[in-house]
Structure 1
Amino acid sequence: MVSVDAAVQRTNMVDSQIRPSDVTDRRIIRAMLEIPREQFVPTAMKPLAYIDDEVPVMMPPNGANRATRSLMAPRDFARLVQLAEISESDVVLDVGCATGYSAAVLGRLAETVVALEVDPELAETAGNLLSETSYDNVAVVSGELASGYPDEGPYDAIVLEGQVEEVPFGLLDQLKDGGRLVAIYQKGPLSRAVLWRRLGATFDEREAFEAAASPLPGFAKPAVFTL
Protein backbone atom coordinates (compact mmCIF):
# COMPACT_ATOMS: atom_id res chain seq x y z
CA MET A 1 0.00 0.00 0.00
CA VAL A 2 1.25 3.49 -0.84
CA SER A 3 1.98 5.59 2.22
CA VAL A 4 0.11 8.81 2.86
CA ASP A 5 3.42 10.71 2.80
CA ALA A 6 4.19 9.47 -0.70
CA ALA A 7 0.72 10.40 -1.91
CA VAL A 8 1.13 13.91 -0.48
CA GLN A 9 4.56 14.25 -2.07
CA ARG A 10 3.13 13.14 -5.39
CA THR A 11 0.42 15.80 -5.23
CA ASN A 12 2.98 18.43 -4.26
CA MET A 13 5.18 17.38 -7.20
CA VAL A 14 2.34 17.89 -9.64
CA ASP A 15 1.14 21.15 -8.09
CA SER A 16 4.57 22.76 -7.73
CA GLN A 17 6.54 21.28 -10.64
CA ILE A 18 4.18 20.04 -13.36
CA ARG A 19 1.18 22.38 -13.47
CA PRO A 20 3.28 25.63 -13.40
CA SER A 21 5.43 24.37 -16.30
CA ASP A 22 2.84 24.71 -19.08
CA VAL A 23 1.84 21.04 -18.89
CA THR A 24 -1.82 21.22 -19.87
CA ASP A 25 -2.49 17.62 -20.97
CA ARG A 26 -4.75 16.38 -18.20
CA ARG A 27 -3.91 12.76 -19.00
CA ILE A 28 -0.23 13.37 -18.16
CA ILE A 29 -1.16 15.19 -14.97
CA ARG A 30 -3.52 12.41 -13.93
CA ALA A 31 -0.94 9.71 -14.66
CA MET A 32 1.75 11.46 -12.63
CA LEU A 33 -0.69 12.00 -9.79
CA GLU A 34 -1.57 8.31 -9.67
CA ILE A 35 1.60 6.38 -10.51
CA PRO A 36 3.80 5.76 -7.44
CA ARG A 37 7.16 7.10 -8.63
CA GLU A 38 8.79 5.95 -5.39
CA GLN A 39 8.28 2.33 -6.42
CA PHE A 40 10.56 2.84 -9.42
CA VAL A 41 13.64 4.09 -7.53
CA PRO A 42 16.12 2.20 -5.30
CA THR A 43 15.26 1.98 -1.60
CA ALA A 44 17.91 4.53 -0.63
CA MET A 45 16.46 7.02 -3.13
CA LYS A 46 12.78 6.71 -2.14
CA PRO A 47 12.82 9.84 0.05
CA LEU A 48 14.02 11.76 -3.04
CA ALA A 49 11.52 10.27 -5.51
CA TYR A 50 9.56 13.51 -5.91
CA ILE A 51 12.30 16.14 -5.87
CA ASP A 52 12.59 18.68 -8.68
CA ASP A 53 15.62 16.95 -10.12
CA GLU A 54 16.82 13.68 -11.60
CA VAL A 55 16.77 10.63 -9.33
CA PRO A 56 19.62 8.12 -9.73
CA VAL A 57 18.53 4.54 -10.32
CA MET A 58 21.93 3.01 -11.11
CA MET A 59 25.40 3.92 -9.84
CA PRO A 60 28.71 2.74 -11.31
CA PRO A 61 30.26 -0.32 -9.63
CA ASN A 62 33.46 1.52 -8.70
CA GLY A 63 31.59 3.78 -6.29
CA ALA A 64 31.97 6.99 -8.29
CA ASN A 65 29.52 9.72 -7.36
CA ARG A 66 28.03 10.30 -10.82
CA ALA A 67 24.98 8.15 -11.57
CA THR A 68 25.10 6.14 -14.77
CA ARG A 69 21.31 6.15 -15.18
CA SER A 70 18.58 8.32 -13.69
CA LEU A 71 14.89 9.08 -13.93
CA MET A 72 14.44 12.45 -15.60
CA ALA A 73 13.36 15.41 -13.51
CA PRO A 74 9.53 15.34 -13.33
CA ARG A 75 8.93 18.71 -15.02
CA ASP A 76 11.28 17.99 -17.94
CA PHE A 77 9.83 14.51 -18.38
CA ALA A 78 6.23 15.77 -18.36
CA ARG A 79 6.98 18.54 -20.87
CA LEU A 80 8.88 16.14 -23.14
CA VAL A 81 5.99 13.66 -23.13
CA GLN A 82 3.51 16.46 -23.88
CA LEU A 83 5.71 17.53 -26.80
CA ALA A 84 5.26 14.04 -28.31
CA GLU A 85 1.48 14.59 -28.63
CA ILE A 86 0.63 10.97 -27.77
CA SER A 87 -2.92 9.80 -28.45
CA GLU A 88 -4.84 6.82 -27.10
CA SER A 89 -4.40 4.88 -30.35
CA ASP A 90 -0.63 5.37 -30.60
CA VAL A 91 2.13 2.76 -30.54
CA VAL A 92 5.07 4.29 -28.64
CA LEU A 93 8.72 3.31 -28.29
CA ASP A 94 10.20 4.34 -24.93
CA VAL A 95 13.99 4.40 -25.39
CA GLY A 96 15.96 4.00 -22.17
CA CYS A 97 13.06 3.09 -19.90
CA ALA A 98 15.43 2.37 -16.95
CA THR A 99 13.26 1.02 -14.11
CA GLY A 100 10.01 1.54 -16.02
CA TYR A 101 8.50 4.74 -14.58
CA SER A 102 8.46 6.49 -17.95
CA ALA A 103 6.86 3.45 -19.59
CA ALA A 104 4.19 3.36 -16.88
CA VAL A 105 3.24 6.99 -17.60
CA LEU A 106 3.28 6.42 -21.35
CA GLY A 107 1.17 3.32 -20.84
CA ARG A 108 -1.60 5.56 -19.48
CA LEU A 109 -1.54 7.66 -22.66
CA ALA A 110 -1.00 5.22 -25.53
CA GLU A 111 -2.51 2.00 -26.80
CA THR A 112 0.81 0.13 -26.73
CA VAL A 113 4.27 0.92 -25.34
CA VAL A 114 7.49 -0.87 -26.22
CA ALA A 115 9.97 -0.08 -23.43
CA LEU A 116 13.56 -0.53 -24.62
CA GLU A 117 16.44 -0.90 -22.15
CA VAL A 118 20.08 -1.79 -22.78
CA ASP A 119 21.09 -2.70 -19.22
CA PRO A 120 19.95 -6.25 -18.32
CA GLU A 121 19.50 -5.44 -14.62
CA LEU A 122 17.36 -2.38 -15.31
CA ALA A 123 15.34 -4.26 -17.95
CA GLU A 124 14.58 -7.02 -15.46
CA THR A 125 13.60 -4.49 -12.79
CA ALA A 126 11.33 -2.63 -15.22
CA GLY A 127 9.68 -5.86 -16.36
CA ASN A 128 9.01 -6.97 -12.79
CA LEU A 129 7.68 -3.61 -11.61
CA LEU A 130 5.42 -3.12 -14.61
CA SER A 131 4.12 -6.68 -14.29
CA GLU A 132 3.37 -6.18 -10.61
CA THR A 133 1.38 -3.03 -11.36
CA SER A 134 -0.58 -4.63 -14.24
CA TYR A 135 0.58 -2.55 -17.18
CA ASP A 136 -0.58 -5.09 -19.74
CA ASN A 137 -0.07 -2.70 -22.66
CA VAL A 138 3.66 -2.26 -21.93
CA ALA A 139 6.30 -4.72 -23.16
CA VAL A 140 9.90 -4.43 -21.91
CA VAL A 141 12.54 -5.44 -24.48
CA SER A 142 16.33 -5.46 -24.42
CA GLY A 143 18.74 -4.04 -26.97
CA GLU A 144 21.03 -1.19 -27.92
CA LEU A 145 19.15 2.06 -27.40
CA ALA A 146 20.42 3.86 -30.50
CA SER A 147 19.22 0.95 -32.66
CA GLY A 148 15.63 1.28 -31.48
CA TYR A 149 13.39 -1.75 -31.84
CA PRO A 150 12.27 -2.07 -35.46
CA ASP A 151 10.56 -5.45 -34.91
CA GLU A 152 7.55 -3.71 -33.32
CA GLY A 153 7.61 -0.59 -35.50
CA PRO A 154 6.81 1.63 -37.16
CA TYR A 155 5.85 3.86 -34.23
CA ASP A 156 3.56 6.84 -33.85
CA ALA A 157 5.93 8.31 -31.26
CA ILE A 158 9.42 7.65 -29.90
CA VAL A 159 10.51 9.15 -26.58
CA LEU A 160 14.21 9.23 -25.66
CA GLU A 161 14.57 9.22 -21.87
CA GLY A 162 17.75 11.25 -21.59
CA GLN A 163 20.15 13.62 -23.25
CA VAL A 164 21.65 12.76 -26.65
CA GLU A 165 24.25 14.30 -28.93
CA GLU A 166 22.79 12.81 -32.10
CA VAL A 167 19.74 10.87 -33.25
CA PRO A 168 20.60 8.10 -35.75
CA PHE A 169 18.63 8.03 -38.98
CA GLY A 170 17.88 4.35 -38.34
CA LEU A 171 15.93 5.37 -35.23
CA LEU A 172 14.07 8.20 -36.96
CA ASP A 173 13.25 5.80 -39.78
CA GLN A 174 11.21 3.70 -37.32
CA LEU A 175 8.58 6.45 -37.21
CA LYS A 176 5.35 6.22 -39.18
CA ASP A 177 4.56 9.04 -41.59
CA GLY A 178 3.49 11.87 -39.28
CA GLY A 179 5.22 10.19 -36.33
CA ARG A 180 7.11 12.20 -33.70
CA LEU A 181 10.40 11.65 -31.90
CA VAL A 182 11.30 13.74 -28.87
CA ALA A 183 14.59 14.00 -27.02
CA ILE A 184 16.75 16.34 -25.01
CA TYR A 185 19.33 17.28 -27.61
CA GLN A 186 22.72 18.65 -26.68
CA LYS A 187 24.25 21.24 -28.99
CA GLY A 188 27.56 22.42 -27.60
CA PRO A 189 27.11 23.66 -24.02
CA LEU A 190 23.31 23.95 -24.34
CA SER A 191 20.61 21.30 -24.34
CA ARG A 192 17.01 21.66 -25.45
CA ALA A 193 13.98 19.50 -25.95
CA VAL A 194 13.63 18.87 -29.67
CA LEU A 195 10.76 17.43 -31.71
CA TRP A 196 11.35 15.57 -34.96
CA ARG A 197 8.32 14.85 -37.13
CA ARG A 198 8.35 12.49 -40.11
CA LEU A 199 6.97 13.97 -43.32
CA GLY A 200 7.23 11.20 -45.89
CA ALA A 201 10.91 10.73 -46.60
CA THR A 202 11.99 13.88 -44.72
CA PHE A 203 12.02 14.98 -41.09
CA ASP A 204 11.03 18.35 -39.68
CA GLU A 205 13.04 19.44 -36.60
CA ARG A 206 11.83 21.98 -34.03
CA GLU A 207 13.43 23.16 -30.80
CA ALA A 208 10.89 23.50 -28.01
CA PHE A 209 12.35 24.48 -24.62
CA GLU A 210 15.51 24.36 -22.51
CA ALA A 211 15.95 21.12 -20.57
CA ALA A 212 18.65 18.91 -19.13
CA ALA A 213 19.09 15.22 -18.38
CA SER A 214 21.78 12.60 -17.93
CA PRO A 215 23.20 11.23 -21.20
CA LEU A 216 21.68 8.09 -22.67
CA PRO A 217 24.29 5.46 -23.53
CA GLY A 218 24.98 5.01 -27.23
CA PHE A 219 24.06 8.50 -28.46
CA ALA A 220 27.39 10.31 -28.25
CA LYS A 221 28.84 11.76 -31.43
CA PRO A 222 31.90 9.88 -32.68
CA ALA A 223 35.15 11.57 -31.72
CA VAL A 224 36.79 13.51 -34.53
CA PHE A 225 40.57 13.38 -34.63
CA THR A 226 42.51 16.12 -36.37
CA LEU A 227 46.22 16.53 -36.93
Structure 2
Amino acid sequence: MNMPLNTSANISDPIEQARYNMIEQQIRPWNVLDADVLELLAVVHREDFVPPACRSMAFMDIEIPLLGTDAEDAVRLGHSMLQPRIEARILQDVKILPTDRVLEIGAGSGYMAALLAHRAQSVVSLEILPALAEMAQDNLQRAGVTNAHVRVSDGSRDAVPEGPFDVIVLSGSVAEVPKHLLSMLRDGGRLAAIVGQEPVMRFTLVRRTSERFEITSPWDTIAPRLVGFAEPSGFSF
Protein backbone atom coordinates (compact mmCIF):
# COMPACT_ATOMS: atom_id res chain seq x y z
CA MET A 1 0.00 0.00 0.00
CA ASN A 2 1.43 3.38 -1.02
CA MET A 3 1.41 5.83 1.88
CA PRO A 4 1.34 9.63 1.50
CA LEU A 5 4.72 11.25 0.93
CA ASN A 6 4.38 13.44 4.01
CA THR A 7 1.81 14.63 6.47
CA SER A 8 0.38 18.09 6.17
CA ALA A 9 0.99 18.62 9.89
CA ASN A 10 4.74 18.55 9.22
CA ILE A 11 4.68 21.09 6.37
CA SER A 12 5.31 24.72 7.30
CA ASP A 13 6.36 26.16 3.92
CA PRO A 14 3.29 27.36 1.94
CA ILE A 15 4.81 26.19 -1.36
CA GLU A 16 5.46 22.71 0.02
CA GLN A 17 1.96 22.61 1.47
CA ALA A 18 0.52 23.49 -1.95
CA ARG A 19 2.68 20.81 -3.58
CA TYR A 20 1.55 18.25 -1.02
CA ASN A 21 -2.09 19.17 -1.61
CA MET A 22 -1.64 18.84 -5.38
CA ILE A 23 -0.20 15.35 -5.03
CA GLU A 24 -2.58 14.07 -2.37
CA GLN A 25 -5.84 15.77 -3.41
CA GLN A 26 -5.56 15.94 -7.23
CA ILE A 27 -3.07 13.36 -8.44
CA ARG A 28 -3.28 10.36 -6.12
CA PRO A 29 -7.12 10.22 -6.35
CA TRP A 30 -6.77 10.06 -10.14
CA ASN A 31 -5.27 6.56 -9.83
CA VAL A 32 -1.67 7.75 -9.86
CA LEU A 33 -0.30 5.36 -7.23
CA ASP A 34 3.23 4.68 -8.47
CA ALA A 35 5.43 5.72 -5.53
CA ASP A 36 8.32 6.71 -7.81
CA VAL A 37 6.07 9.00 -9.86
CA LEU A 38 4.62 10.62 -6.75
CA GLU A 39 8.10 11.16 -5.34
CA LEU A 40 9.25 12.68 -8.63
CA LEU A 41 6.41 15.20 -8.51
CA ALA A 42 7.80 16.34 -5.17
CA VAL A 43 11.36 16.56 -6.53
CA VAL A 44 10.73 18.44 -9.81
CA HIS A 45 9.40 21.84 -8.80
CA ARG A 46 6.47 22.67 -11.04
CA GLU A 47 6.43 26.29 -9.93
CA ASP A 48 9.83 26.78 -11.60
CA PHE A 49 8.33 25.90 -15.00
CA VAL A 50 5.38 28.30 -15.07
CA PRO A 51 5.51 31.97 -16.15
CA PRO A 52 6.30 34.22 -13.15
CA ALA A 53 2.85 35.84 -13.37
CA CYS A 54 1.25 32.38 -12.99
CA ARG A 55 3.40 31.11 -10.12
CA SER A 56 0.44 31.16 -7.73
CA MET A 57 -1.42 28.85 -10.15
CA ALA A 58 1.35 26.24 -10.39
CA PHE A 59 -0.40 23.61 -8.25
CA MET A 60 -3.99 24.23 -9.35
CA ASP A 61 -6.03 21.68 -11.29
CA ILE A 62 -6.07 23.87 -14.41
CA GLU A 63 -4.27 24.35 -17.72
CA ILE A 64 -1.80 27.20 -17.15
CA PRO A 65 -1.50 29.76 -19.97
CA LEU A 66 1.95 30.43 -21.45
CA LEU A 67 3.41 33.33 -23.47
CA GLY A 68 1.27 35.93 -21.75
CA THR A 69 -1.97 34.83 -23.45
CA ASP A 70 -5.20 34.64 -21.49
CA ALA A 71 -6.45 31.23 -20.42
CA GLU A 72 -9.06 30.82 -23.17
CA ASP A 73 -6.71 31.82 -25.99
CA ALA A 74 -3.89 29.74 -24.54
CA VAL A 75 -5.96 26.56 -24.65
CA ARG A 76 -7.30 27.34 -28.12
CA LEU A 77 -3.80 27.99 -29.49
CA GLY A 78 -2.09 25.16 -27.64
CA HIS A 79 -0.03 27.57 -25.51
CA SER A 80 -0.73 25.98 -22.13
CA MET A 81 0.54 23.41 -19.64
CA LEU A 82 -1.53 20.32 -19.09
CA GLN A 83 -3.26 19.78 -15.75
CA PRO A 84 -0.92 18.19 -13.18
CA ARG A 85 -3.01 15.03 -12.85
CA ILE A 86 -2.88 14.41 -16.60
CA GLU A 87 0.90 14.87 -16.71
CA ALA A 88 1.28 12.49 -13.78
CA ARG A 89 -1.03 9.82 -15.22
CA ILE A 90 0.77 9.88 -18.58
CA LEU A 91 4.11 9.52 -16.82
CA GLN A 92 2.84 6.60 -14.78
CA ASP A 93 1.21 4.74 -17.66
CA VAL A 94 4.06 5.06 -20.17
CA LYS A 95 6.43 3.39 -17.65
CA ILE A 96 9.73 5.10 -18.45
CA LEU A 97 12.86 2.97 -17.97
CA PRO A 98 16.36 4.29 -17.17
CA THR A 99 17.59 3.10 -20.58
CA ASP A 100 14.78 4.76 -22.58
CA ARG A 101 15.45 7.36 -25.23
CA VAL A 102 12.37 9.61 -25.32
CA LEU A 103 10.86 11.96 -27.88
CA GLU A 104 8.37 14.55 -26.65
CA ILE A 105 6.14 16.51 -29.03
CA GLY A 106 5.17 19.88 -27.58
CA ALA A 107 7.74 21.13 -25.05
CA GLY A 108 5.54 23.89 -23.62
CA SER A 109 7.32 25.17 -20.52
CA GLY A 110 9.68 22.17 -20.29
CA TYR A 111 8.05 20.65 -17.22
CA MET A 112 7.04 17.34 -18.79
CA ALA A 113 10.47 17.05 -20.40
CA ALA A 114 12.01 17.49 -16.95
CA LEU A 115 9.82 14.73 -15.48
CA LEU A 116 10.68 12.39 -18.36
CA ALA A 117 14.39 13.23 -18.14
CA HIS A 118 14.55 12.29 -14.46
CA ARG A 119 13.50 8.75 -15.38
CA ALA A 120 14.94 8.25 -18.89
CA GLN A 121 18.39 8.13 -20.43
CA SER A 122 17.71 11.12 -22.69
CA VAL A 123 14.87 13.31 -23.96
CA VAL A 124 14.48 15.23 -27.22
CA SER A 125 11.58 17.68 -27.02
CA LEU A 126 10.21 19.35 -30.15
CA GLU A 127 8.41 22.67 -29.95
CA ILE A 128 6.94 24.44 -32.99
CA LEU A 129 6.85 27.88 -31.33
CA PRO A 130 10.32 29.45 -30.92
CA ALA A 131 9.32 31.48 -27.86
CA LEU A 132 8.12 28.37 -26.05
CA ALA A 133 11.19 26.38 -27.11
CA GLU A 134 13.42 29.08 -25.62
CA MET A 135 11.35 29.17 -22.43
CA ALA A 136 11.48 25.39 -22.05
CA GLN A 137 15.23 25.13 -22.63
CA ASP A 138 15.92 27.98 -20.20
CA ASN A 139 13.72 26.34 -17.54
CA LEU A 140 15.47 22.99 -17.98
CA GLN A 141 18.89 24.59 -17.67
CA ARG A 142 17.93 26.48 -14.52
CA ALA A 143 16.58 23.23 -13.05
CA GLY A 144 19.88 21.47 -13.77
CA VAL A 145 18.37 18.98 -16.23
CA THR A 146 21.21 18.07 -18.59
CA ASN A 147 19.81 15.05 -20.45
CA ALA A 148 16.88 16.87 -22.13
CA HIS A 149 17.23 19.08 -25.20
CA VAL A 150 14.54 21.30 -26.74
CA ARG A 151 14.55 22.04 -30.47
CA VAL A 152 12.35 24.28 -32.60
CA SER A 153 10.66 21.80 -34.92
CA ASP A 154 7.24 20.82 -36.26
CA GLY A 155 6.52 17.47 -34.68
CA SER A 156 3.69 16.83 -37.12
CA ARG A 157 6.03 16.50 -40.09
CA ASP A 158 9.74 17.07 -39.45
CA ALA A 159 12.29 14.27 -39.45
CA VAL A 160 13.99 13.56 -36.12
CA PRO A 161 17.53 12.27 -36.73
CA GLU A 162 17.98 11.09 -33.12
CA GLY A 163 15.42 8.31 -33.64
CA PRO A 164 14.27 5.62 -33.34
CA PHE A 165 12.95 6.07 -29.80
CA ASP A 166 11.82 3.81 -26.98
CA VAL A 167 9.08 6.24 -25.94
CA ILE A 168 7.21 9.04 -27.71
CA VAL A 169 4.98 11.33 -25.64
CA LEU A 170 2.59 13.86 -27.16
CA SER A 171 2.03 16.64 -24.62
CA GLY A 172 -1.33 17.66 -26.03
CA SER A 173 -4.16 16.15 -28.02
CA VAL A 174 -4.44 15.05 -31.65
CA ALA A 175 -7.33 13.84 -33.78
CA GLU A 176 -5.59 10.55 -34.52
CA VAL A 177 -2.34 8.78 -33.72
CA PRO A 178 0.23 10.17 -36.21
CA LYS A 179 1.53 7.31 -38.35
CA HIS A 180 4.87 8.97 -39.04
CA LEU A 181 5.57 9.00 -35.29
CA LEU A 182 4.78 5.30 -35.01
CA SER A 183 7.52 4.65 -37.56
CA MET A 184 10.00 6.28 -35.14
CA LEU A 185 9.35 3.70 -32.42
CA ARG A 186 11.82 0.93 -31.69
CA ASP A 187 10.55 -2.62 -31.38
CA GLY A 188 8.96 -2.69 -27.93
CA GLY A 189 8.57 1.09 -27.91
CA ARG A 190 5.52 2.97 -26.60
CA LEU A 191 3.72 6.04 -27.88
CA ALA A 192 1.43 8.00 -25.55
CA ALA A 193 -1.13 10.46 -26.89
CA ILE A 194 -4.51 11.98 -26.03
CA VAL A 195 -6.66 11.21 -29.07
CA GLY A 196 -10.08 12.27 -30.28
CA GLN A 197 -12.48 15.19 -30.44
CA GLU A 198 -14.24 17.15 -27.73
CA PRO A 199 -16.24 16.39 -25.68
CA VAL A 200 -14.56 12.96 -25.42
CA MET A 201 -10.89 12.22 -25.89
CA ARG A 202 -9.02 9.12 -24.76
CA PHE A 203 -5.52 8.60 -23.53
CA THR A 204 -4.11 6.13 -26.05
CA LEU A 205 -1.03 3.98 -25.50
CA VAL A 206 0.43 2.24 -28.55
CA ARG A 207 3.09 -0.46 -28.13
CA ARG A 208 5.11 -1.60 -31.13
CA THR A 209 5.97 -5.29 -31.51
CA SER A 210 7.86 -5.77 -34.76
CA GLU A 211 5.43 -4.37 -37.35
CA ARG A 212 2.35 -4.81 -35.15
CA PHE A 213 0.85 -2.11 -32.93
CA GLU A 214 -1.09 -2.96 -29.77
CA ILE A 215 -3.47 -0.18 -28.71
CA THR A 216 -5.02 0.43 -25.31
CA SER A 217 -7.14 3.43 -24.24
CA PRO A 218 -7.51 3.17 -20.46
CA TRP A 219 -8.95 6.58 -19.53
CA ASP A 220 -10.80 9.61 -20.85
CA THR A 221 -9.81 13.25 -20.62
CA ILE A 222 -9.70 16.49 -22.63
CA ALA A 223 -6.52 18.36 -23.57
CA PRO A 224 -5.59 21.29 -25.83
CA ARG A 225 -4.61 20.51 -29.41
CA LEU A 226 -0.98 20.27 -30.43
CA VAL A 227 -0.17 22.86 -33.08
CA GLY A 228 0.29 21.66 -36.66
CA PHE A 229 -1.41 18.27 -36.61
CA ALA A 230 -4.15 17.55 -39.15
CA GLU A 231 -7.81 17.00 -38.33
CA PRO A 232 -8.72 13.91 -40.40
CA SER A 233 -12.16 12.39 -40.18
CA GLY A 234 -11.14 8.79 -39.51
CA PHE A 235 -8.66 6.77 -37.47
CA SER A 236 -7.04 3.63 -38.79
CA PHE A 237 -3.69 1.94 -39.19
TM-score (norm 1): 0.90
What does the per-residue CA deviation read over 1:86-134, in whole Å, with 9 as the maximum and x for residues that have no partner? 1111111111011100001111111111111111011111111111111
Q: Equivalent of 2:24, from 15, 19, 31?
A: 15
Q: Structure 2 vs 1, CA of residues 72 and 148 (structure 1 numbering), >3 Å: closer, same or farther?
A: farther
Q: Separation in 2 of the partners of 1:173 and 1:16?
A: 38
The corresponding residue for 1:199 is 209
The corresponding residue for 1:108 is 118
Q: Residue 49 of structure 2 aligns to which amino acid in structure 1? A: F
The corresponding residue for 1:79 is 89
The corresponding residue for 2:6 is none
Contact 2:140 2:148 in 1 (8 A): yes
User: What's the offset of the Cα at 1:59?
Assistant: 5.0
Q: Residue 58 of structure 1 aligns to which amino acid in structure 2? A: L
Q: Runs of 5+ in structure 1 lacking a partner?
A: none
The corresponding residue for 1:97 is 107
Tell me, yes or no, if structure 1 residue 66 matches structure 2 residue 73. yes
Q: Separation in 1 of the partners of 2:71 and 2:48?
A: 24
What does the per-residue CA deviation read over 1:9-60, in whole Å, with 9 as the maximum and x for residues that have no partner? 1111011111122112222211111212112111221111111121111355
Q: Separation in 1 of the partners of 2:156 and 2:37?
A: 26
Q: Separation in 2 of the partners of 1:140 and 1:95?
A: 10
Q: Equivalent of 2:200, from 183, 190, 214?
A: 190
Q: Equivalent of 1:56, from 49, 65, 81?
A: 65
Q: Percent identity?
A: 39
Contact 1:80 1:182 in 2 (8 A): yes
Matches within 5 A, 1:159-198: 159-187=169-197, 189-198=199-208
Q: Separation in 2 of the partners of 1:176 and 1:129?
A: 29
Contact 2:176 2:232 in 1 (8 A): no
Q: How many residues were matched structurally?
A: 220
Q: Separation in 1 of the partners of 2:52 and 2:220?
A: 31
User: What's the offset of the Cα at 1:148?
Assistant: 5.9
Q: Structure 2 vs 1, CA of residues 64 and 36 (structure 1 numbering), >3 Å: closer, same or farther?
A: closer
Q: Structure 2 vs 1, CA of residues 65 and 168 (structure 1 numbering), >3 Å: closer, same or farther?
A: closer
User: What's the offset of the Cα at 1:201?
Assistant: 1.3
The corresponding residue for 1:43 is 52
Q: Separation in 1 of the partners of 2:68 and 2:184?
A: 31
Contact 1:81 1:159 in 2 (8 A): no
Contact 1:160 1:182 in 2 (8 A): yes
Q: Residue 206 of structure 1 aligns to which amino acid in structure 2? A: T
